[in-house]
Amino acid sequence: MTAIDRGPAHTSTVAVIGTGTMGQGIAQVALVAGHPVRLYDAAPGRAEHAVGAIAARLGRLVDKGRLTAADRDAALGRLAPVAAIEELAGADLAIEAILEELGAKQQLFTALESVVPDHCLLATNTSSLSVTAVAGALRLPGRFIGLHFFNPAPLLPLVEVVRGAATDQAAADRAYATVAAWGKTPVRCADTPGFIVNRLARPFYAEAFRVHEERAADPATIDAVLRESGGFRMGPFELTDLIGQDVNEAVTRSVWESFFHDPKFTPSLAQRQLVDAGRHGRKSGHGWFDHAEDAPRPAPHTAEPCEAPDKVVLYGDLGPAAALVGLIEEAGITVVREPRSAGGHLVLPDGTALSLTDGSPATTDRAARIHFDLALDYRTASRIALAPSGTASPASVEAAIGLFQALGKQVSVVRDVPGMIVARTVAMLVDFALDAVAREVASPQDVDTAMRSGVNYPRGPLEWGEELGARWVRDTLRRLHDSYPTGRYAPSQALIRRAALQEELL
């Protein structure tokens, strides 16, 4: 028996309403999984056009050896466009992928409900609207579910299975099992603004944009630090140029408005200006970067070679950056240990302190300090960012640069900004994830799965938080909050509780 009806797989009909890129992708997934698929679009001729586009994509899969010609022909034999919504009457699952407008979706599902049988699951692919609100106009809201595929649907594995306030558990279970049977990676999620991925990913963009707005670093450098030190596959500036600045900004604004203008979700003025200027990224030819064919790609700021110091003094331990000590010694630089000292930092030969950013600015008094940023893995990271205080001498900065260059790292020197780049981003991601779990948006496992599979994060945020320690994350955010007392960086109660528990166990 299949997940979506009470008969064998070849009798389970899937209806897809809306035949744009996402609708075509969902239809292709269902077809390859063995289902008859009916395509409907309110615009005349679009369903027929979608059949041709899907056939072309399946043909390319055959050319690449990913699908046999026989399987392609069988799939196309199960695909049919329909001209009227009444022709979807035999569907066991109906998924819409139409415009993101609440009234339009409610009108569609009200019409569908009068056509399909009562056992048919009704699903929306919305990424920004409330599943509960869409279902509010239905006679049987218990069978309504959110199935949020990611674009392109045939390639990306994640599907958020979103349970609205009125969704029956049995319907959610059927939807989850169906998505899993299609070879996708389903995660369960409560109906909340942004669901899992679009809710938890906001700091990845917002913190980078804020660092840029403060002119601490340029977009190319911020992207490089997050890729080469943080381990993210793409930086937020290049990624939003790929997504579309208008699309990404609209999601950010929708989540912010849905949370009643919570400062944690505040959109970026700089990104809003890009959208207003029509600079939407690759699709318009210009976004954060110029995408003209002959335009040079901006290079990140990278320091020139500098001489490394012969030795450094280690006071205490470096916490999440403890691996640096072994790397420094492997590079032939002497490390003199002062283990009974409070705090964790290195001291360069001229007395300048060099430490992992703790959320506060390097410039707090007259003492010369240099902060370095967090890395996913200090051994494999290929770039490190440094932020010197206003009193750090050029010679001190050069010594710090040389130290990390001796470890095989490229070095980007940025202006002194609280939390730097990777550290503030990761701390916020961890806090958002803990808060979501505490509010029962999703399970810890589903949160980490969603962020790894949906947006290719190098680690799930909860996994990252366990490695860093809740106390480190909490204290980093508290210091950021001291620098920016708007509420944006105030640690969540979930993080505060987790950190307190860790302290009790020590």
Residue with tokens 């307190």: 500
- Facing residues of 371 across strands? 355, 387
- Integer CA distances (angstroms), 385 to 322, 394, 496, in order: 17, 16, 28
Structure tokens at 238: 């290049």
**Which is the catalytic residue, given 12, 125, 127, 355?**
127
Q: How far apart are CA 84 and CA 41, in angstroms?
A: 8
Instruction: Tell me if residue 48 is catalytic.
Output: no
User: Pairing between strand 158-163 and 345-347?
Assistant: unpaired
User: Pairing between strand 79-82 and 410-413?
Assistant: unpaired
Q: How far apart are CA 408 and CA 443, in angstroms?
A: 39
Instruction: Tell me if residue 127 is catalytic.
Output: yes
Q: How far apart are CA 179 and CA 175, in angstroms?
A: 6
Structure tokens at 42: 């309110």
Phi-psi region of 456 (alpha: psi -120 to 50; beta: other; left: phi over 0): left
Answer for the pair 231, 376: CB distance below 8 angstroms, yes or no.
yes
**Which is the catalytic residue, given 35, 113, 125, 160?**
160
**Which is the catalytic residue, given 12, 113, 148, 396?**
148
Write down how long the chain is: 506
Q: Which amino acid is at 92?
A: D
Tell me: cis bond preceding 152? Omega within 30 of 0 counts.
Answer: yes
Residue with tokens 């692919």: 125
- Integer CA distances (angstroms), 224 to 63, 241, 301, 464, in order: 36, 15, 9, 20
Q: How far apart are CA 429 and CA 413, in angstroms?
A: 24
Q: How far apart are CA 183 and CA 59, in angstroms?
A: 20
Instruction: Tell me if residue 382 is catalytic.
Output: no
CB atoms within 10 A of CB 485: 10
Q: Where are the alpha helices (DSSP H) in 331-487?
A: 394-406, 422-438, 444-455, 461-468, 470-483
State the SS3 of 237-302: HHHHHHHCHHHHHHHHHHHHHHCCCCHHHCCCHHHHHHHHCCCCEHHHCECCCECCCCCCCCCCCC
Strand order across the beta sheet in which 121-124 lies: 79-82, 37-40, 14-17, 93-96, 121-124, 144-149, 158-163, 185-190
User: Pairing between strand 185-190 and 311-315?
Assistant: unpaired
End-to-end CA distance of the chain: 52
Instruction: Tell me if residue 213 is catalytic.
Output: no
Structure tokens at 423: 């550290």
Q: How far apart are CA 231 and CA 200, in angstroms?
A: 17
Catalytic residues: 127, 148, 160, 198
